[in-house]
Structures are given as C-alpha cells and as structure tokens.
Amino acid sequence: MDINRYDTTQKPTWCPGCGNFGIWIALKMALSQLNLEPHQVSIVFDIGCSGNGANFIKCYGFHGLHGRSLPLASGLKLINSNTKVFVMSGDGGAMGIGVGHFIHSCRRNIDMTMIIHDNQVYGLTTGQTSPTSEKGYKSKSTPEGVLEDSVNPVFLGLATKAGFVAQGFAGQMNHLVDLMKAATNYKGFAVVNVFQPCVTYNHVNTFEFFQKRVYKLEESGHNAQDYASALVKAQEWGDKIPIGILYNVERPTYEDGLTNFDYNKVISSDSVNRDVTELFNTLR
C-alpha cells in the first residue's frame, strides 16, 4: 500500500529537521506494511508539537486536551473494538499532566498503542524543561539547571505492568517502523517511547547525541520476556542507550474482562434518532 494514502492536503509545519518527521513517516510506513486502510485507524493526539500531526495523517483523528489523550482513546477503543487506536503524545503530556492516565492505562491494558514523542523539552511553548529533561538541564524555565531526577517513560511503563514496552529513535527509520508494527500487532496496551530530537530548543539531546549512543536490543541478546532484564535495560543512559523491544508478554486485556458488554450493539445502534426525554426527566 502506498504510504501517500495517509497524506492529507496539509503540509507539516514542524521545524525543518524536527524528529517528528521521522515518527510521521515511520507510522505511515508501518500502517502501509500492515495493510491498514485509513478508515481502519483512529489516532488521538495530545497537545504539543506531536499534536500538530492531527493535520498531517489521513485517518480518524481527535485532538484532545493536554494530558487527556489516553482516557479519550480508551473510550474510543471500548466503543469501537474494530478500529486500531493510537495515541500520539509528547513527553510533557504523557509524563507530566497526563502521567496518572499513563499509569492506569498500563495496568488496565486496553488494546491500543501509545507513541511518546520524547524530545525532553516543551517544544511548542518554546523550550521549557519537561519531565524527561536530564537533571542539570538548563532552559528558560530552569536557568540554573533542573533539580529533579528525570522521569523515565519505559521504566515507568514496566513498573506499572505494561505488557509491551519499546524504545525507538526517530533517526533510525526502518528500526522504528518495525517497533511500530510490533506494537500495533500486540493485543493490549503497547508503549513506544521515541527519542525525537528538538532541533530548535534542545541542543544537548541531538540526533548526533543519540546516533553515538543507541544500540539495538535485539542485537545484544536481550530476552524481551525477562522482566528483570527489561527493568535493568530501561535504566541504561549515558554512553549506551537501548532501543528496541524491552518487554513483550501476553496479558489479559481489559476488554477480555467485559464479558457482558456487546460491542456490536453499541457500534450499530442508532445514535441519531433517539428520544432522550425519559433520561432528561430523571434529572429534574
């Protein structure tokens, strides 16, 4: 399938060289290789530079409130189990204001894929420190350097029992495509944290920074079903940074437990010509 099938009439407005371009192209390539038609895909976008992608991918899309993309996506998936649901969020929305939703999404295990655009700054609001910024990182909001330890998205995902946790890099396209395909095929909540360099505001964690440090887990003999090993790998940072699938095990999904819920009835019900008078009378 031609990846141009997923293009809209709008052209991306990200800064030239932004890591979001890599994620955008990788996702279209993954959807194409999985033979998913645009009408079979639904993406909930968070606020931020990642959220601008709502204009650039042809599918069902929803641009929600900052940090609230996961509850919206959860409702969407529970109402229509036939659609492939993705969440696109920056590290700020995912690990800051939305971190509570992230934790409960991991433990709840609804069948959807979350792709975190991790550039370690708030890019859309001009480069303030984010929850994933390294300790000591200086920005306009922390001119003396970050005092707190950074939030680690993949470690947090593992700690809260996500069954599929992976890490990618926007500068390694084919590898990222494979991760997205594996996450999409996973039955349950899949987390893919993507290092997405902000070329305008983050001059520390650059493409060059990651190219010198990332290594592929699948080439190191890592066992993605070994939880203890995944926890160790998730904490590697500095001279060596892992990319690939950290953890991949089967878990019962939230939907599996909804034995009395008829999805087909919800999807096929007439939501237009419905008399709600009786409902309103109960609220008087």
Q: CATH says 14-281 is which class?
A: alpha beta
pLDDT for the residue 2: 87
The backbone torsions φ and ψ at residue 190, rounded to the nearest 5 degrees and listed phi first, read -110, 135
Average model confidence (pLDDT) for the chain?
Answer: 95
What's the average model confidence in pLDDT over 129-152? 96
Would you state the pLDDT for residue 266?
Answer: 67
pLDDT at 78: 92
- Retrieve residue 75's tokens: 């409702």
Instruction: Please state, in angstroms and rounded to a whole number, the distance separating the CA atoms of residues 9 and 252.
Output: 40
pLDDT band at 193 (very low <50, low <70, confident <90, very high): very high
Q: Round to whole Å and give the CA distance between 194 and 180.
A: 10
The model's confidence at residue 122, banded by pLDDT at 50, 70 and 90, is: very high
Distance CA 252, CA 215 (A): 31
Report strand pairing: 121-122 vs 128-129: antiparallel
Q: Are strands 112-118 and 189-195 parallel, antiparallel or unpaired?
A: parallel
Q: 3-state SS of the chain: helix, strand, coil percent to 5? A: 35, 20, 45
Dump pLDDT digits (tens) for 226-270.
Answer: 999 999 999 999 999 999 999 999 999 999 998 777 766 666 666
Tokens of 52: 């601008």
Whether the per-residue pLDDT at 135 is higher than 70: the answer is yes
Gap between the terminal Cα atoms of the chain: 54
Residue 208 has pLDDT above 80, yes or no: yes
Given this model, what pLDDT does residue 263 score? 66
Q: Where are the alpha helices (DSSP H) in the chain?
A: 20-33, 69-79, 91-92, 99-108, 153-159, 173-185, 207-211, 227-234, 263-268, 277-281
Mean pLDDT of 125-142: 96
The SS3 call for residue 167 is strand
Write the pLDDT tens digit of every residue in 85-97: 999 999 999 999 9
Mean pLDDT, range 44-63, rounded to an integer: 95
Cβ atoms of 137 and 145 within 8 Å: the answer is yes
The residue behind tokens 């919206």 is 72
- The model's pTM is 0.93
Segment 116-132 shows an average pLDDT of 96
Mean pLDDT of 33-51: 96
